[in-house]
Amino acid sequence: MTSADTAAYRTPDRLRARIGFHERYPSGAGDFHDWLLAHVDAPPDAAVLEVGAGTARMWTRDPGRVPPGWRLTLTDLSAGMVEAAAEAVADAGISARVLQADVTALPFEPASFDLAFANHMLYHVSDLDRAVAELRRVLAPGGALIAATNGEAHLAGLRELAAEPGRWEGAGVVAEGVAPLPFTLESGGEALARSFSHVSVHRRDDVVFADDAEVVLAYLRSMLYLPPEPSDELLAELAGWEERVRLRLAARPLEVRRSSGFFVAR
């Protein structure tokens, strides 16, 4: 992970802001995790791993859709995320082992799992090939990896707005999502094929017109990383930028294209 990635996922706050945008503007195709799980074929007593599980939303949003016989193990590199996930699954009445782990050095024996999920996280890892090889190692023969990611055009409208503060000379603001991701729906298949013999991709695309300024700004703030002690001048400049965003949205909704999906690797 980059330093910005580490900061983004040290606590759940930024992740929740991003989830909030998609909850405010849901896809006509339904919830992403519902769609993903509908494509999963695994034994009723499967040993299931999720790496980069975050707040465990895939499991806790609708606990009834989790097969009761699945033996869940949820991991995340962030201690804050592990704490949030453990609390969430306990509150939902879901039995799961939750622990801190690095996907490039998983603390599991070979062939420990029938199914593994790596959702919207492989573009953050420092060594993609090593992470994919580790996921292959811990899967049993016949097991499958589900790896969700985004397309190259995903959220281009939001990324363009967030890029402005990152261009301010001398401000020290880093804007996430400006540089191309290393694992996308267009490029990820090649990386997976280096460790798996069969890779397929499922994708869905839509467009939303966002007019809720506070929801949009919450997402944009989640993409920005400020110096540890931002100056009063920088804070004033950011306030002015936020006001320009509000005025723009008041004039017309922001067109936001979404492109997301997942790979199945065996």
**Residue scoring higher pLDDT (15 or 98):** 98
pLDDT confidence band for 177 (50 / 70 / 90):
confident
E strands, 61-176, are: 71-76, 96-100, 113-119, 139-150, 174-175
> CB–CB of 66/94 below 8 Å?
yes
Is residue 3's pLDDT more than 70?
A: no
Q: For domain 3-152+180-205+258-265, which CATH number applies: 3.40.50.10860, 3.40.50.10420, 3.40.50.300, 3.40.50.150?
A: 3.40.50.150
Phi, psi values for residue 213, rounded to 5°: -60, -40
Measured distance CA(120)–CA(225) in Å, rounded: 20
Q: What are the structural domain ranges in the chain?
A: 3-152+180-205+258-265
- Residue 171 CB-half CA count within 13 A: 20
pLDDT the model gives residue 11: 67
Measured distance CA(147)–CA(116) in Å, rounded: 8
Average pLDDT, the chain: 94
**DSSP annotation of 77:** S
Q: Which candidate, 124, 135, 266, 146, places its Cα nearest to that of 202?
A: 146
> Tens digit of pLDDT for each residue in 15-64?
899 999 999 999 988 999 999 999 999 999 999 999 999 999 999 999 99
Is residue 6's pLDDT more than 70?
A: no
pLDDT the model gives residue 32: 93
